[in-house]
């Protein structure tokens, strides 16, 4: 098994790269999916998050409205950090459990941990490899504005809530530039997956 961290930033193309790795044969552990799971009603982070942010973040069914919560934390770094403190331990614990189960069933697997804040949390230090889905800042701003219908100032605020992609680039082992046409991105992912799979198999055999 090889444990590979995939990161990026908002609108950097990380979801596309993750999907292409899955299609190539990698097993994917999605941190965002887990984060959604752990704040559902009855899940371990639900009560602490509601206590910290108030009943105003709940929808009519009593579930946490992630859009309302996002609007709060993107405007306040201190509250964003508080949310991360409440959620991240549960996310990483569940990710580790998923990795163990996948490894037991598929010892030669490439397991991709898809994490927006992989580097910000220090989780990149536990990876065998780190992959970055990369775009330049101007492209990132343009994508966020078009995708989410945001003004430039709000788009920049959301981008600045994460570490700059150019900083992450220095810590990545592999870069996938998502400004390229989709066929070129697909080819890059397939080639990288083959290399990672060969390494995972060699580790299993040794």
Residue 89 has pLDDT above 70, yes or no: yes
> d(Cα 36, Cα 166) in Å, to the nearest integer?
28
Instruction: Express each pLDDT in 101-120 by its tens digit.
Output: 999 999 999 999 999 999 99
Question: Would 87 be classed as within a structural domain?
Answer: no
Weakest-pLDDT range from 3-17, 24-38, 153-167 = 153-167
Q: Quick check: is 107 in a domain?
A: yes
Tokens of 37: 């799971």
pLDDT digits (tens, 9 = 90+) for 56-81: 999 999 999 999 998 899 888 899 99
Here the tokens at position 46 are 């639900």
8, part of any domain? yes
Q: Tell whether 12 is covered by a domain.
A: yes
Q: Look at residue 174 and tell me if it is in a domain.
A: yes
Residues of the chain above pLDDT 70, percent: 100
For 123-156, the pLDDT digits (tens) are: 999 999 999 999 999 999 999 999 999 999 999 9
Of 115, 157, 147, 158, whose CA–CA distance to 133 is shortest? 115
Instruction: Label each residue of the chain as H, E or C.
Output: CEEEEEECCCCCCHHHHHHHHHHHCCEEEEHHHHHHHHCCCCCCCHHHHHHHHCHHHECCCCCECHHHHHHHHCCCHHHHHHHHHHHHHHHHHHHHHHHHHHHHHCCCCEEEEECCCCCCCCHHHHCCEEEEEECCHHHHHHHHHHHHCCCHHHHHHHHHCCCCHHHHHHHCCEEEECCCCHHHHHHHHHHHHHHHHHHHHHHHHC
Q: Domain containing 123: what range? A: 2-34+93-200
Evaluate whether residue 206 is within a structural domain: no
Instruction: Say if 71 falls within a structural domain.
Output: no
Which pTM does this prediction carry? 0.92
d(CA 31, CA 121): 12
Q: Specify the CATH number for the domain of residue 15.
A: 3.40.50.300
Q: What phi and psi, each to the nearest 5 degrees, are found at residue 6?
A: -115, 125
In this structure, is residue 178 part of a structural domain? yes
Q: Look at the chain and report how many structural domains it folds into.
A: 1
């Amino acid at each position: 098994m090889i444990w590979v961290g995939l990161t990026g930033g908002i609108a950097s193309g990380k979801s596309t790269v993750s999907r292409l790795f899955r299609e190539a044969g990698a097993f994917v552990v999605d941190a965002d999916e887990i984060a959604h799971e752990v704040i559902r009603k009855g899940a371990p982070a639900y009560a602490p998050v509601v206590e910290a942010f108030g009943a105003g973040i709940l929808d009519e069914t009593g579930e946490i409205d992630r859009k309302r919560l996002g609007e709060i934390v993107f405007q306040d770094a201190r509250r964003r950090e508080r949310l991360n403190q409440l959620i991240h331990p549960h996310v990483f614990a569940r990710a580790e459990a998923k990795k163990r189960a996948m490894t037991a069933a598929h010892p030669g697997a490439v397991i991709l941990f898809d994490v927006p804040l992989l580097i910000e949390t220090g989780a990149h230090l536990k990876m065998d490899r780190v992959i970055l889905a990369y775009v330049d800042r101007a492209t990132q701003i343009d994508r966020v504005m078009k995708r989410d219908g945001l003004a430039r100032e709000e788009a920049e605020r959301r981008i600045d809530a994460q570490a700059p992609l150019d900083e992450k680039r220095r810590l990545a082992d592999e870069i996938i530039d998502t400004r390229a046409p989709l066929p070129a991105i697909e080819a890059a992912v397939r080639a990288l997956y083959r290399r990672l799979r060969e390494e995972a198999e060699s580790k299993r055999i040794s």
